[in-house]
Amino acid sequence: MNAALLYPFILAAGALQALGNAMNAQLRGALVNPWLAATVSFAPIVFVFVTLFLVMPTPLPSVDQLAAMPWYAPLGGVAGAVAVFGGLILVDKVGAGPFNGLTLTANILTSLALDALGLFGMQAGGFKPMPWLGGLLMVVGVALIARTGAESDDGGEDRGMGGKLLYPFILVAGALQAIGVVWNGQLREALVNPWLAATVSFLPVVFVFALIVLVRPTPLPTRRDIARLRWWMPLAGLTGAVAVFAGLLFVATVGAGAFNGLLITANLLTSVALDHFGWLGMKRVAAGPQRLGGAALMVAGIVLISVF
């Protein structure tokens, strides 16, 4: 199958991922406790995928396919969720702009390395200068967009050395996000049934979030907080999960670099639009020359990665 035919679906998944992020922000504000909000966000994902698996239980993997599955494949969801954990814990310490910029930069560069070196079962493509040039353009574009986000968050104030010491952990979270996509693809190949694979990927994530809520049950939302809850807020996880499901299906065909590049580009372009128009309750941040320039660099970068 021509990989280019899958690009529109991946771009749509990236746009939905951005919508899910905005909806999650509103859900967290309404439920106060970030771990409770994450549990509420992820629980419907597991419910939907379990239901789909029960309705469509075939095909099922053979014993040989299960035996050949890499031990780390079921951990793809947990690896990808490290960035979610990091966002809940660290974004207030470093600022949303730097956090997103570092996470996405690590994601892009790790994806290119996975393709070039053939890590975790990916087909090795070797070093190709044009995709790496595209990755560099995307990193610069991310930095321009994230910088305007940081200025809108805190007026451009420096968070201090304490925040900068957290940067290596955020970079690791971004790298794990890219690796998690590849692991999910391997899980899909081993388990054959995509609904079963998605259930296995998300179930440990919900378990971890629920366990943290039990260990740290406070703060809890008040009646006034609950009144702010809208019907669409708990659907944030499902909206964002489309990107994970797309990874299960498509990453082996299009490659980690192209998949994550397309996903991130659509995500950030949609995020710029959400901020500019103030949709879904987001704080309005005008799409000025710096943001639009960053968006243009990202589009140019993903063209280089996808074509070459």
- Tokens standing for residue 270: 């949609």
pLDDT at 1: 64
> Is the pLDDT score of 160 beyond 70?
no
Judge whether 245 and 122 are in contact, CB under 8 Å. Answer: no
Phi-psi region of 261 (alpha: psi -120 to 50; beta: other; left: phi over 0): alpha
pLDDT tens-place string over residues 191-215: 999 999 999 999 999 999 999 999 9
- Taking each helix axis as running N to C, give the angle between helix 7-31 and helix 34-55, from 0 to 180 degrees, rounded to the nearest 10: 140
Q: How far apart are CA 77 and CA 252, in angstroms?
A: 17
Judge whether 13 and 27 are in contact, CB under 8 Å. Answer: no
- Tokens standing for residue 174: 């971004």
Q: What percent of the chain has pLDDT over 70?
A: 93
pLDDT at 100: 76
Give the range of the structural domain holding residue 75, as residue numbers without chain letter. 3-307
Q: Mean pLDDT check: name the lowest of 13-22, 103-112, 145-154.
A: 145-154
pLDDT tens-place string over residues 263-274: 988 988 888 888
Residue found under tokens 């597991």: 46
What pLDDT band is residue 156 in, cutting at 50, 70 and 90?
Answer: very low
Longest CA span, the chain: 57
Q: How far apart are CA 294 and CA 12, in angstroms?
A: 20
What pLDDT band is residue 150 in, cutting at 50, 70 and 90?
Answer: low
- Tokens standing for residue 18: 């951005």
Judge whether 142 and 273 are in contact, CB under 8 Å. Answer: no
Work out how many domains the chain is built from and give that number.
1
Judge whether 71 and 187 are in contact, CB under 8 Å. Answer: no
Report which of residues 148 and 63 the model is more confident about: 63
pTM attached to this predicted model: 0.84
DSSP state of 3: G
> Is the pLDDT score of 158 beyond 60?
no
- Tokens standing for residue 168: 């290596």
Instruction: Provide the H-helix boundaries in the chain.
Output: 7-31, 34-55, 63-68, 76-94, 96-117, 129-154, 161-164, 167-191, 194-215, 223-227, 236-254, 256-277, 289-307
Q: How far apart are CA 156 and CA 173, in angstroms?
A: 24
pLDDT at 157: 47
pLDDT tens-place string over residues 6-51: 999 999 999 998 898 888 888 988 999 999 999 999 999 999 999 9
Please name which of 249, 242, 240, 111 lies closest in space to residue 188, comparing C-alpha atoms. Answer: 249
